């Protein structure tokens, strides 16, 4: 009998529940939604199950408060943790979310020792490194979702500025997820044309800044939460590339061992994602200025890793 793919989403808040929604709607996999709050994952899963006859997707959705149901998952997406509140930096979340993500990772390693882990919890790069260390999984099976989101934000703003379809815009963002991320206009295009040929430098700089502050802008508007539609879909795009062996080139937070001059650290770079997870880390040439910005971004991640002692 053909076995369907199985994806566990840890955390049934806005990002986790929306992740489950995207996965189900795309019929990517059966979904287990896990949360410590009794009733929440069960209720949201049941609601999604009842949406299936309307939209016509055939997947199984299960809500759970423990990890037995997650056994033998192909992919686990970790969204658990506290969300940012206005005025709160990603670093403020560090200790609390480290405890949460560490505990979750132990359960994943126990019940799904062959799974791929996609981390969405903030501060992203540090949480991915924590999951990598705690799980003991090889580096090709642990990754963080940030670059897909940051690039999508940049693409959105570029398409708006150019008054073109978002489908024709590609954007490249490297580095840690946060204020030190490194948008690369030279590698960003509209229908293959570099955006540096199409927009004035000051407009590009304005878009770069808005991209780096993309999450904070939404937190400021929502006041009681943070972004969830785009972050959840970013994680699902990564999962789809692995499950379907699509070999998409996507910017993801991965463990670097000398690439870009960065060692033993999770930082966002372009990678090929296929059935073996991170199948290739792609090194692109950077100007001195871009390389310095990437090193600065890596330094910000290293500070968090030092605080956690991992």
Which residues does the annotation mark as catalytic?
A: 177
Separation of alpha carbons 81 and 35, rounded Å = 10
Per the structure block, which two tokens stand in for 223? 């006041």
Give helix 147-162 / helix 214-222 axis angle, nearest 10°: 80
Please, which residues have CB within 8 angstroms of residue 71's CB and are 6 or more apart in sequence?
111, 112
Separation of alpha carbons 107 and 259, rounded Å = 31
Separation of alpha carbons 249 and 269, rounded Å = 10
Residue 169's nearest CA partner among 243, 178, 183, 182 is 183
Separation of alpha carbons 234 and 138, rounded Å = 22
Separation of alpha carbons 258 and 265, rounded Å = 9
Separation of alpha carbons 266 and 133, rounded Å = 11
Separation of alpha carbons 67 and 70, rounded Å = 5
Beta bridge partners of 170: 189
* Cα separation values, 57 from 6, 8, 60, 290, Å: 15, 18, 9, 44
Report the SS3 class of residue 62. strand
Residue 63's nearest CA partner among 48, 43, 78 is 43
């Amino acid at each position: 009998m053909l076995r369907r793919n199985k994806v566990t989403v840890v955390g049934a808040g806005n990002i986790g529940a929306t992740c489950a929604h995207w996965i189900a709607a795309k019929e990517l996999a059966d979904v287990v939604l896990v949360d410590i709050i009794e009733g929440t994952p069960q209720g949201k899963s049941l609601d999604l199950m009842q949406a299936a006859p309307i939209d016509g997707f055939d997947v199984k959705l299960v809500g759970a408060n423990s990890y037995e149901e997650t056994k033998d998952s192909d992919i686990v997406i970790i969204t658990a943790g506290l969300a940012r509140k206005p005025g709160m930096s990603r670093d403020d979340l560090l200790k609390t979310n480290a405890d949460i993500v560490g505990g979750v990772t132990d359960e994943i390693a126990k019940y799904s020792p062959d799974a791929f882990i996609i981390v969405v919890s903030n501060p992203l790069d540090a949480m991915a490194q924590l999951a990598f260390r705690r799980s003991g999984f090889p580096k090709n099976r642990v990754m963080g979702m940030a670059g897909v989101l940051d690039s999508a934000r940049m693409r959105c703003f570029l398409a708006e500025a150019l008054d073109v379809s978002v489908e024709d815009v590609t954007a490249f963002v490297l580095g840690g997820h946060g204020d030190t991320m490194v948008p690369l206009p030279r590698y960003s295009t509209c229908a293959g044309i570099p955006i540096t040929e199409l927009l004035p430098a000051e407009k590009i700089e304005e878009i770069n800044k808005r991209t780096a502050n993309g999450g904070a802008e939404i937190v400021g508007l929502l006041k009681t939460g943070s972004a969830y539609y785009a972050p959840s879909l970013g994680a699902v795009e990564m999962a789809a590339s692995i499950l379907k062996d699509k070999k998409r080139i996507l910017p993801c937070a991965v463990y670097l061992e000398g690439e870009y001059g960065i060692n033993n650290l999770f930082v966002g770079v372009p990678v090929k994602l296929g059935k073996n997870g991170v199948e290739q880390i792609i090194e692109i040439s950077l100007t001195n200025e871009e390389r310095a910005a990437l090193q600065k971004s890596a330094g910000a991640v290293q500070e968090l890793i030092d605080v956690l002692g991992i």
